[in-house]
Amino acid sequence: MSQDKAEKLLQSSKSQKRSTSEPSPSDETVELTQTVQEAYEAIDNGDVSSNITVRDTNLAALFHGLEESGDLAHVAAAARISLDREDNSNVNRSQTIGDLIRVGLQEVAPETVDQAMKAKKEHLLSKEGEF
């Protein structure tokens, strides 16, 4: 993406609000499974980052507090139980935040999680055919 195009996108996004912005008609027709599968490919190729970023003072304070108090392990264990995953004694903030996001997505948008899982399977199968 060119610097000019990126700057135009940034400027246009500053004027948009969640309550007033509408998806463009072309955005609505794109299949989530396809876009997630393409994102896996882009991550594998190093074209996009595998990190996500959240700027939230309240959550940052909470997670620092959880780490300092030793309560992060309890929250991590609860999230992993909710996800039917094995408890991991090597708790870290990043993994716990990821698990908590998964719990939240599963709660509010289980169909989205199903599509993402389908996309991951399709991506892995497409890699399996490579020599």
Contact in structure between 87 and 80 (CB atoms under 8 Å): yes
Nearest to 119 by CA among 46, 38, 43: 38
Average pLDDT over the chain, rounded to whole? 85
> pTM here?
0.70
What are the contacts of 39-47 at 24+ separation with CB within 8 A? 40/119, 40/120, 40/123, 41/123, 44/127
- The H or E element containing residue 123 is helix 110-128
pLDDT digits (tens, 9 = 90+) for 52-109: 999 999 999 999 999 999 999 999 999 999 999 988 778 789 999 999 999 999 999 9
pLDDT interval class at 37 (50, 70, 90):
very high
Give the pLDDT of residue 126: 87
Give the pLDDT of residue 74: 94
